Amino acid sequence: MATDGFEPYRITLDEQLVEALATRPAGELADHHQDRLRELADNRRRHVDQGAGVLVMDGFGALRDSEVPTALATFSRLIGSLLPQNASGELIREVRDRGTRIGEGRTTRYSDSRFGGNLHTDGAEAPHPVPEYFTLLCVRQAKQGGALQLVHVRDVVRRLADRPGLLATLREPFHFDRRGDEAPGEPPTTRKAVLFDDDGEPGVTYLRKYIEAGHARDDVPDLTSQQVAALDALDEAIADPALALEGTMRAGELAIFANRRLLHGRTEFVDHEDPALTRLLYRTWIRRAA
Ligand SMILES: [Fe+2]
């Protein structure tokens, strides 16, 4: 697997459009940007909705640090509405190493750690409908590592096609831990199937450690041996490098991902010692406009 696997899905946005995204709301973009935006929407449909599930756009490197979140929010609003990413309502989340381990404690998140593996979808801790898309805008990469790994759910379903019993189990509900995002009085887990029908295509919502944390709760039944076997088979399929697309985002790139179609993870990374230079990406979750 080459780490430049994103090359076929990479396009360059022109400087004026990127600058416009950083300085005015989506509805106020000038007419001469509209053709470029239509082209961009075509690229998104072709690559994200129907193709590999990812589109990478470069051209954001010239922005000042303070303009980056605005440009990302404006870009995201061209596609739909921003969704809160946790109980505190964050719409633009900084993804950086906060020194945590995945799944430890009651509330920690994958995005706050530097560890790799654990392929998942975003919003695994949230009830349906989970976000259709998520974006990442890379401000700085790590010193080493931090490549993204993507596995498309249609390849996973194809891989497991000769094991219909396992697929049937994955289409039945599991308890996903809410990671503390539940409102007072709400249960601490949400029940949903790992595999589901998403507009006639296979959809997926998954993060194994959140499922294990959900079923480890006192008031939730233990995972059955059948469920464990189905999750093991799923993990085995998504760990197969032959199914994975691996690529590294560079500083100044914005990528959009089909969150219900792609399992994603990253390779473990090593950061720069200088805290001003550590890996930083901004993330949004998007509900597609009707
Ligand atoms: Fe994620």
Instruction: Round to whole Å and give the CA distance between 187 and 92.
Output: 26
How far, in Å, is the centroid of ligand 1 from the Cα of 110?
7
* CA 280 – ligand 1 centroid, Å: 14
DSSP bridge pairs for 228: none
In a domain, 127, yes or no: yes
For residue 207, the CA-to-ligand 1 centroid distance in Å is 9
Give a yes or no: residue 229 inside a domain. no
Q: Do 208 and 126 form a contact (C-beta atoms < 8 A)?
A: no
Centre of ligand 1 to C-alpha 248, Å, is: 15
Does the structure show a pLDDT above 90 at 106?
Answer: no
Q: How many whole angstroms from 7 Cα to the centroid of ligand 1?
A: 21
What is the Å distance from ligand 1's center to 265 Cα? 6
pLDDT of residue 240: 95
CA of 254 to the centre of ligand 1 (A): 15
Mean pLDDT for all residues in the chain: 93
pLDDT at 257: 98
The answer to the question of residue 12 being in a domain is yes
Task: With a cut of 80, say whether residue 215 has pLDDT above it.
Answer: yes
Ligand 1: centre distance to CA 104 (Å): 16
Instruction: Please state, in angstroms and rounded to a whole number, the distance separating the CA atoms of residues 175 and 221.
Output: 9
pLDDT in tens, 20-67: 999 988 778 888 888 889 999 999 999 999 999 999 999 999 999 889
Return the CATH number at 111.
Answer: 3.60.130.10
Quick one: how far is CA 283 from the chain centroid? 9
Q: What's the domain range around 29? A: 7-36+44-155+239-288
- Partnered with residue 58 across adjacent β-strands are 12, 253
Residue whose tokens read 């609003």:
77
Strands 117-120 and 262-266: antiparallel
Give the model's pLDDT for residue 27. Answer: 78
The winner for highest mean pLDDT among 81-85, 114-118, 266-270 is 81-85
* Residue 274 in domain: yes
What letter would DSSP give residue 145?
E
Kindly state whether residue 269 falls inside one of the protein's structural domains. Answer: yes
In a domain, 120, yes or no: yes
Looking at the whole model, is its pTM more than 0.85?
A: yes
H-run or E-run covering 193: strand 189-193
Position 90 in a domain: yes
Nearest-CA neighbor of 18 among 66, 58, 60? 60
Distance in Å, CA 33 to ligand 1 centroid: 31
- Those residues with Cβ within 8 angstroms of residue 150's Cβ, 6 or more apart along the chain or in another chain: 52, 53, 54, 244, 245, 246, 247, 257, 262, 263, 264
Report CA(121)–ligand 1 centroid distance (Å): 6
Give domain status of residue 197, yes or no.
no
Token couple for 252: 């100044």
CA angle 134, 109, 65 (to 5 degrees): 55
Q: How many domains does the chain have?
A: 1
Tens digits of residue pLDDT in 218-264: 999 999 999 999 999 999 999 999 999 999 999 999 999 999 999 99
Residue type at position 8? P
Q: So what's the pLDDT on residue 3?
A: 60
Contact 278, 96 (CB under 8 A): yes
3-state secondary structure of 112: helix
